[in-house]
Amino acid sequence: MKRFLALLALAGACLTLSPAALADDAPVASATASTVTAPTVAAPAPVATPAAAPAMVAAADPAPVDKVDKGDTTWMIVATVLVILMTVPGLALFYGGMVRTKNMLSVMVQVFVIFAMLGVLWCVYGYSLAFTEGNAFFGGFSKLFLKGVTPDTLAATFSKGVAVPELIYVAFQMTFAAITPALIIGSLAERVKFSALLAFMVLWFTFSYIPMAHMVWYWAGPDAYTTAAAADKATATAGFLFQKGALDFAGGTVVHINAAMAGLVGAFMIGKRIGFRKEIMAPHSLTMTMIGGSLLWAGWFGFNVGSNLEANGAATLAFLNTFLATCAATVSWTFAEWWLKGKPSLLGAVSGAIAGLVAITPACGFVGVMGGLVIGLLAGVVCLWGVNGLKNFLGMDDSLDVFGVHGVGGIMGALLTGVFASPSLGGTGVFDYVANKVGDFDMSAQMISQLWGVGTAVVWSGVVSLIAYKLVDMVFGLRVSEEQEREGLDTSSHGESAYHY
C-alpha cells in the first residue's frame, strides 16, 4: 500500500509537469454560465466542424447560450445510466464468464474498483485536463475538483444556442473515462497483481486517456464559429486531432484503439498465462458472458447515442446505426465461423455483436444507415480474423481478445468513417458552422485526417503504456507468483471465491 501511495504521489508530481502546466502562455478557460462544448472533430479549415462525439470546452467570451431543453437533459441522464450499466454489471459479467472459475471474482473486482476509482479521479482532475482550454494535448487546471461547475453552468451541444447542464455532461464523460481503462483488464486477466493494475490505471488514465480525449474532443463549441476569422481563432485553441479534422463520434480512437494498445503492450510485457496453449482455458460460463454481452449491447445505446448530446434526428441516426451494425456483425461473425470451424458458437455470436458495436462507435453519427450496415458486416469478419489469425501471428496471450476486437474493430471503424461519412454515400458530411450548412466533402483529405487519428492513438497509447508498465513493474512487479496463479486470483488475491460447492 505504501508503494502504491508513493506511485500516486509520483503521478501527481508528473502531472504538474504536463504540457498544459509548461505552457506559460496557454490560455486557461474560465467557467461561466454558458460556456463549453462538446465532442466532434472538424476539418482544420476555417469553418468546418462536425456535429458529433463527446467533448466539452469552455470558450473565452462565449456567445450567450439561452436554451436548455428538458428533453435533452432527461436523455443525457438516461444515457449516463446506460453507460454505467455497460460496465457494472455488463463488462464485469462479460469478462468474468470468459475466464476460468478460479478467476471469475477477481475480474469482477478489478472492473468494479477501477470504474469507481477512475470516476473519483475524473472529478478531481480528469475533467479539467480534458475539457478546458490549455494547449493541443492537455487542458488546464481551472476546473480541478470541479471548481466553478454548478447546476447553473452549461455545456454546449452541437446546435448553436442549445445547451445541457454542465453537471450531467461531467457525469456522462465520467462514464467514458471510467469504462475505457476497465477494457484493458481483458488482456491481462488471470495473472496480474491487483495493486499493480490499480497503479497502472492511474498512470495510463492521466497520461493516455485524458490527452486523447482532449486531442479529439476539445473545441470551442458551435457558438464560437461565427465568421471565418472567428473560426480560425477557435480551431487554434482546439485539441490536436480536432485541428487535424479527425472524426470520432463516440470513441473509436479515444476509447477502443487507446485501450486496445494498452492491452496489447501489457499482454507482451506480462507474458503468457501458465499452461497457455497447453492446458484447456475455456470460458467457465458462457451464460454469464452472454448476459454481460447483452447488457453491453443495451448500454451501448447510451454510449453512442448519448454522444449526440441532444434528443433529435441526429440521435436517431446514431441509434439505428448502432442497432443495425451490431446485428450485421453478429450475423457475419456467426456465418464466417460456421463456415471456417464447422459449428456456430454462442461465444462467436456475442463477440460479433461487440465487434459491431466497437466498429460503429466512431461512425454512428456520421454515416448513413447502409454505411452502418456495411461497417457491421465487415466488422464481424475482420474481428474474427483479429482474434484468430492476427493473434496467432503475434504470438501473444491477449486473454480475452481485447486487441482483436477493440483494436482491430476500432481501427477499421475509424478509417471507414472517413469513407461513409461522404454525403454521396449517404453520410452526413461535415457541418460548416460559419455557413450553417454541410460543407464540401473531400474523401481523400478526410481519410488523411482519420489516419492521423488512428496513428496518434496507436503511438501515444503504446508509448505511454510501455513506460507506465515499466514503472509499475519496478515498484510492484506486474505478475502474481506462479503458486498464486495456479491457485487462482479469487482466493490468492482477494480471499474469496465466486462459487462454493
User: For residue 399, is pLDDT > 90?
Assistant: yes
Element (H, E) at 438: strand 437-438
Q: Which residue has the cell 502504491?
A: 4
What are 104's three cell numbers?
471469475
Q: Which residues contact 315 (CB under 8 A, 6 or more apart)?
A: 75, 305, 308
Reported as a single tens digit per residue, the pLDDT across 114-149 is 999 999 999 999 999 999 999 999 999 999 999 999
pTM of the model: 0.88
Q: What's the pLDDT at 66?
A: 59
Distance (Å, rounded) from C-alpha 86 to C-alpha 93? 10
User: For residue 6, is pLDDT > 70?
Assistant: no
If one compares 294 and 15, the residue with the highest pLDDT of the two is 294
If one compares 43 and 328, the residue with the highest pLDDT of the two is 328
Mean pLDDT value across residues 437-441: 94
What is the four-CA torsion angle of 447, 413, 77, 205, rounded to 10 degrees? -90
Q: Which residue has the cell 503521478?
A: 11
Residue 335, Cβ neighbours under 10 Å: how many? 15
Q: What's the pLDDT at 425?
A: 97
Distance (Å, rounded) from C-alpha 429 to C-alpha 1? 51
Element (H, E) at 165: strand 162-165
Reported as a single tens digit per residue, the pLDDT across 25-69 is 333 333 333 333 333 333 333 333 333 444 444 444 445 545 899
| Band (500; pLDDT cuts 50, 70, 90) | confident
User: For residue 489, is pLDDT > 90?
Assistant: yes
Q: What's the pLDDT at 501?
A: 74
Reported as a single tens digit per residue, the pLDDT across 46-56 is 333 333 444 44
Distance (Å, rounded) from C-alpha 20 to C-alpha 132? 10
Reported as a single tens digit per residue, the pLDDT across 221-273 is 999 999 999 999 999 999 999 999 999 999 999 999 999 999 999 999 999 99
Identify the CA nearest to 87 among candidates 182, 171, 190.
Answer: 182
Mean pLDDT value across residues 411-435: 97
User: For residue 413, is pLDDT > 50?
Assistant: yes
Are 375 and 359 spatial neighbours (Cβ–Cβ below 8 Å)? yes
Mean pLDDT value across residues 156-168: 95
Mean model confidence pLDDT for the chain: 89
User: For residue 395, is pLDDT > 70?
Assistant: yes
What are 206's three cell numbers?
492521466
Show the DSSP H helices in 400-480 as ranges: 402, 408-420, 443-475
Instruction: Say which range, 54-63, 451-460, 464-473, 475-484, has the weakest mean pLDDT.
Output: 54-63
Q: What does each C-alpha distance from 234 to 30, 40, 46, 60 come to in angstroms?
A: 15, 14, 9, 9
